[in-house]
Amino acid sequence: MHCDPRFSRVREVFERHFADGEELGAAFAVYLDGELVVDLWDGVADRHTGRRWEHDTPAFAYSCTKAITATVLLGLAERGLVDVTAPVADVWPEFAACGKEAITVEHLLTHQCGLPVLEEPVPVEEFEDQAAIAARLAGQAPLWEPGAAHGYHALTYGFLVGEVIRRVTGKSVGELVAAEIAGPLDLELWVGAPDPVIDRAARLKAADRPQPLTTTEATPAEAPTGGGPQAPDEAQAGERPGDALAEMARAALDPQSLMNRALGNPGMHLLKGGANHPVILRAGWPAAGVVTTARSLAGFYRSLIAGDLLGRGTLRDATRIRVNGPDRVLFLDTAFGLGFMRPSLTFLMPSETAFGHSGLGGSIGLGDPERGLAVAYVMNKMANAVSGNLRGIRLVEAVYKSL
């Protein structure tokens, strides 16, 4: 392990989490101006066998994947292969069905297209067939007027954006990540992990129970599968943050809520071990499929803010806030650029110039070009959180206080 003395308080926070029993296994990494200044790991990767968390233990990081998928698409846009302002149907004609002909690629990236749920349960046999899942979405009508509101597309974001990428390149997001990001940058980062990586990956422990507490710990770690009639309109979350939090808490306990339907179909919990099952780790869902170490996830953001993956102008435009305010799925305020989270109640950052993406249960990846920071946190003890958790937030705050 390594921790620059300037960041000693980060190590203190990391160690305190273990001493207080808040962690099972975890890793945290920080790059400052391209230099690895923090690289910490500790604990148990598999509580059943006692296998230790090592320097190269990868973990499933849920929606941290979305920023990586967005980067793949934006790279295609830089090459003139995709126009983010153009209709999705230009490259995916079937998508125009049910009144979706005007939905743009930007609407997909910013959670505005009105397709946050798959209306019919996806069978387990289809979990690794992303084109088939995308075809289901192509046949659905949007739940709201595209562009008129936004709501977190927890899983469908990846099938939608991933299908645009596949139509343009003939390749999956995972294949392009391996060829254009992880391979050239020597990162231990996979969107769709091979069997040897699956064998040494950390085993996630689900949150003990739904326990709405704060804006960062408000939903169950494993949501039930959706299905059945559409829930009542959940767009009105109340004028005060407390009202929105109460609505979010109620939705978390309602299997038919738009939030749980968005989180729970395809239903990872249908497989033994949930997200630990090889089918999930291998599937490479572009919204929730990355398996990575903290060092490599931070390394992704290091390269992103250095201009190695996207031109700096492209990144500035991609991180410009496109939507900000009450989220039709999560109720709380969310803020998004083109696939990247920006600071909000669901991405609590000490800096307004930070961008990135958090993941269900607590994982975090972020970059801050103004401060030259790239940060990542992965763990296997899930929190009751759609976005971030207090452990990760404390660590990020300690980084900024150390500057």
Ordered alpha helix ranges (H), 27-80: 65-78
Quick one: DSSP state of residue 217?
B
Give the amino acid at 384: N
User: Does the active-site annotation cover 63?
Assistant: yes
Measured between alpha carbons, how far is 325 from 234 in angstroms, rounded to an integer?
14
| Strand, coil or helix: 27 | strand
Q: Partners of 324 in the beta sheet?
A: 335
Of the candidates 298, 45, 72, 288, the one whose C-alpha atom is nearest the C-alpha of residue 188 is: 298
Report domain extents, the chain: 44-389
Task: At 136, list the tokens.
Answer: 């289901």
pLDDT for the residue 213: 33
User: 31 pairs with which residues across the strands?
Assistant: 36, 374
CATH number of 44-389: 3.40.710.10
Catalytic residue among 63, 172, 257, 296: 63
Digitized pLDDT (tens) for each residue of the chain, 403 residues in all: 999 999 999 999 999 999 999 999 999 999 999 999 999 999 999 999 999 999 999 999 999 999 999 999 999 999 999 999 999 999 999 999 999 999 999 999 999 999 999 999 999 999 999 999 999 999 999 999 999 999 999 999 999 999 999 999 999 999 999 999 999 999 999 999 999 999 999 999 987 654 433 333 333 333 322 332 223 333 333 344 568 778 878 877 888 889 999 999 999 999 999 999 999 999 999 999 999 999 999 999 999 999 999 999 999 999 999 999 999 999 999 999 999 999 998 999 999 999 999 999 999 999 999 999 999 999 999 987 655 579 999 999 999 999 9
